[in-house]
Amino acid sequence: MPAEKSVYQLKVSLDGSKPPIWRRILVPGNTSLYNLHDILQIVMGWENYHLHMFTIDGQIYGDPEDDEEGILETKDETRYRLDRLGLREKSKFSYEYDFGDSWDHTILVEKILAPEKGVPYPVCLKGKRACPPEDVGGVWGYQDFLEVIADPEHEEHEEYLVWIGGEFDPEAFDLDEVNQSLRAFKPTRGRRTVRYEPEEDFDLMPSEEEQRATAEKLGNWAKNLTQEQKDGFETLPLRRDMITFLEYLAENRTVGTQSTGNLPLKAVYAIGEKFVKPLVPEETIGDRTYKVRSEDEVWPLVFVHTLAYFANLVTGGPSRIWKVTEDGELFPQTPPPIQVFYLFTYWWGQVDWAIASPVSGLADGLPVDFKAEALDSLRKLLEKENALFEPFADDLIAQSGLEWHSQDQTMAQTIRRSVIKRVFVDPMVRFGVLDCQYGTENISGHDYTKLASILLTSIGKGMLDLLK
C-alpha cells in the first residue's frame, strides 16, 4: 500500500445497542472498503462469518457476487478507497454485517488528519463494551440473550452459557488486544481467497499396496452385506444428498463466489431444496424473517460440499466454475456401500473436523491426536450395545486432551461434551456408523431433549474394520 496522505478518524457505532457499543479508530485514507471491512471485523470483535455491505450516499459497495441478480447494483468494494469517495468531516455512512441478524453500524467521519510519523495505522483509540456474539439474533436477540445469562433461574440459562462458551461479559473491551490484532493486519489489493487444505498432522490414507489390499477386502465386504445393510446404504441421506449435489453441478454452470468460493445463492437454494431434508430458505420467527444468504448458513450442504472437494469428486474455488471430476462422474455408478465408505475415508483422512463446530473456542483446532483417539473410542464400542454418551465423551476428552479454558469447570466439561457431539458423533450418524438415543432432562420445570446414548451399527462396525 502506498504511503498514506491522510488519516480518517472514524467513530463506529452499532445501531440500536443500549447501552451504546462503539469504537473510535484511525484509518489511512488509501484504505479500500474491502480492507476497511476487515478492520471493522477486528475492532468490533466480529468473526467474519457472514456477508456484508457498505452504503455511502445511497450507493451500495460490497462483493458483486453476493448481488446475483444485480438488483442492488453493488459496486466492488475492492476498487474504492476512503479518500476517493467524497467523504468529508461529519460525513456518515453505514456498514451492515450479517444480512440475517442485520448488524447495522453507523460510521461517522469525525476528523480527516495528516498522518503522524511513527504511528502504526490502523489503530483503535477507544471503545466501549463487548461485541455481541455471532448469530445471537440481532439487537433484539442480543437483549434477550443478556437477560437470560444474567438470570440463573431462567429455563434457558444453562443452554445459553453452553452456547456462548461458558461466560460472557457485555462490558468487556480490551483496547490493547484489539490493537495487537490490528498490528498483525495485512492490507490486500484484492480479495483474499479461502482454500481447502488437507490436514498434515494426521493421515489415514493408505499406500498404493495397502489400497490394493483394501480394494479386495472392500469388494468382499460389499458382497457379504445383508440385504438390510445394503438397503441402509441405499437410503442413507448423506449418499443421496451427494448424488443430488453432483447432478446439479454436472447440469449447471456454477461459479464460486469471489471471496470464498462458496456456491452462489441460486445453487444453494436449488440443491438444498432437493436434499432428503429440504432446505427452508426463509423462516419467520415472531415479527422477524430470516433468509439464508450464504452457503455457510446451510451446514448439510457445507458438509456435502466439503466431502466432495476432499474426495476429488469436484473441483473449483473462488471465481472458478465448480465442476464434477472424472471420479465424480463415476461416483453415481458405484455401489452405494462403496460410495459411503469412500466418503468416510476422506472424512477421516483429510477434513479438519473443527469446521463442524460453531463454537469459536475451537479457533485453534482440535488436538493433534483427536482423530486417532476418536477411532480407538469407536472401535471399543460393542455392536448393537448402547453406550452412555457422557461417559463415552468424557473418556474421549481425557484421552485426546481436548481443552476448554474456563473458571467454571462444570460448564467447561458440558461444552467439551457438546464439541464431541458436534464434530464427532453427529458426522458418524450421517455416515450411518452410529445411532443415537435421546432422553429428556428437566431443568427448572422444563423438559429438554438430551443425547443419552450412542449405538454402533452393523454397517458402522464393518466400515471401521476396513479403515486403516
pLDDT, position 184? 83
Q: What is the pLDDT of residues 113-149, one digit of tens each?
A: 999 988 889 999 999 999 998 888 889 889 999 999 9
CB 359 within 8 Å of CB 133: no
pLDDT, position 205? 47
Higher pLDDT residue, 256 or 125?
125
Residue 315 backbone phi and psi in degrees, to 5: -140, 150
pLDDT, position 198? 45
Q: What are the cell numbers at 337?
A: 456401500
The CATH architecture of the domain made up of 7-129 is Roll (3.10)
Weakest-pLDDT range from 19-28, 89-98, 157-166, 245-254: 157-166
Which residue shows C-alpha cell 473456542? Answer: 361
Determine the Cα–Cα distance for residues 140 and 288; give it in Å rounded to an integer: 10
Question: 432 in helix, strand or coil?
Answer: coil
Indicate the pLDDT class of residue 207, thresholds 50, 70 and 90. low
Closest CA to 355 of 303, 407, 396: 303
Residue 402 backbone phi and psi in degrees, to 5: -65, 125
Please provide the average confidence, as pLDDT, over all residues in the chain. 86
**E strand or H helix at 181, and its extent?**
helix 175-183
Amino acid letter, 211: Q
Q: What is the pLDDT of residues 75-120, one digit of tens each?
A: 999 999 999 999 999 999 999 998 878 899 999 999 999 999 888 8
pLDDT, position 311? 93
Q: What is the pLDDT of residues 47-72, one digit of tens each?
A: 887 889 999 999 999 988 777 667 78
Determine the Cα–Cα distance for residues 64 and 53; give it in Å rounded to an integer: 10
All structural domains of the chain with their residue ranges: 7-129, 192-351, 356-458
Weakest-pLDDT range from 55-64, 251-260, 367-376: 251-260
Higher pLDDT residue, 378 or 407?
378
pLDDT, position 396? 95
CB 100 within 8 Å of CB 296: no
Indicate the pLDDT class of residue 209, thresholds 50, 70 and 90. confident
Residue 184 backbone phi and psi in degrees, to 5: -85, -5
pLDDT at 307 over 90: yes
**E strand or H helix at 463, and its extent?**
helix 458-466
What pTM did the predictor assign? Answer: 0.64
Distances (CA, A) of 8 to 113, 161, 314: 6, 38, 45
Which residue shows C-alpha cell 451427494? Answer: 242
Stretch 164-172: mean pLDDT = 85
Strand 446-456, strand 434-443: pairing: antiparallel
pLDDT, position 322? 94
Percent of the chain residues topping a pLDDT of 90: 55
